[in-house]
Chains A and B, each alone.
Chain A
Amino acid sequence: MSMRRVAVVGAGMTRFVRRAMETPKELAWHASRMALDSCGLTLNDVGGVCIGSAPDAFDGVHMKGEYLSDGSGAWGKPVMRSYVGGGTGVFLGPHGWYHVASGLFDVVLVVAEEKMSSFYPHAQAAFLTIFDHTTERPLEPNLLWIFALEMNRYMQTYGISKRDIAQVAVKNKRNAADHPCAMLGEANITVEDVLNSEVLAWPVQRLDVSPVSDGAVAIVMAAEGVAERITDRPVWVQGVGWNLDTAYWTNRDLAYPEYVERAARMAYEMAGVREPRKEIHVVEPYDPFDYKELHHLEGLLLADRGKAPELTAQGVTARNGAMPVCPSGGLLGVGNPITAAGLMKVAELFWQLRGEAGARQVPGTPERGLAQAWGDLMQVGTVTILGTQRPS
Chain B
Amino acid sequence: MPLDPTLHADDLRAWYGSMPVTSRYTVGPAGERFFRAMKDAARILGTRCGRCNLTYVPGRLFCERCFDELTDWTEVGPSGTIEAVTVVHLDLDGALLEPPVLMALVRLDGADTVLYHRLSGVDVADAKIGLRVEAAFRRLEDRTGSILDISHFRPAG
A interface list, Cβ under 8 A from B: 20-23, 26, 29, 32-33, 36, 42-43, 57, 59-60, 70-71, 73, 75-76, 117-121, 125-126, 128-129, 133, 137
- List 6 additional A-B contacts (Cβ < 8 Å) besides A23-B28, A26-B28: A60-B25, A117-B24, A118-B23, A119-B22, A125-B20, A128-B19
Chain B interface residue bracket vs A: 20 to 34
C-alpha gap A24/B72 in the complex (Å): 22
Contact status B62-A43, CB under 8 Å = no
C-alpha gap A57/B23 in the complex (Å): 8
A-B contact pairs, 18 of them (CB 8 A): A21-B28, A21-B32, A22-B28, A22-B29, A22-B61, A23-B31, A26-B30, A29-B62, A33-B69, A42-B66, A43-B67, A60-B21, A60-B25, A118-B26, A120-B24, A121-B22, A126-B21, A128-B19
**In the assembled complex, which residues on chain A have CB atoms less than 8 Å from the CB atom of B65?**
43, 75-76
**In the assembled complex, which residues on chain B have CB atoms less than 8 Å from the CB atom of A32?**
67
C-alpha gap A29/B60 in the complex (Å): 12
Q: Which 3 A-B pairs have the closest CB atoms?
A: A60-B23, A70-B64, A23-B28
B interface list, Cβ under 8 A from A: 17, 19-32, 61-62, 64-67, 69
B22 CB → nearest A CB, Å: 5
Contact status B23-A20, CB under 8 Å = no
**In the assembled complex, which residues on chain A have CB atoms less than 8 Å from the CB atom of B24?**
117-118, 120
**In the assembled complex, which residues on chain A have CB atoms less than 8 Å from the CB atom of B23?**
59-60, 118-120
Interface of B is mostly: loop
Residue of A nearest to B18 (CB): A129
A74 CB → nearest B CB, Å: 8
Residue of B nearest to A29 (CB): B62
Residue of A nearest to B23 (CB): A60
**In the assembled complex, which residues on chain A have CB atoms less than 8 Å from the CB atom of B27?**
23
Partner among A22, A42, A59 whose Cβ is within 8 Å of the Cβ of B67: A42
**In the assembled complex, which residues on chain A have CB atoms less than 8 Å from the CB atom of B61?**
22, 26, 29
Contact status B17-A20, CB under 8 Å = no
C-alpha gap A33/B121 in the complex (Å): 45
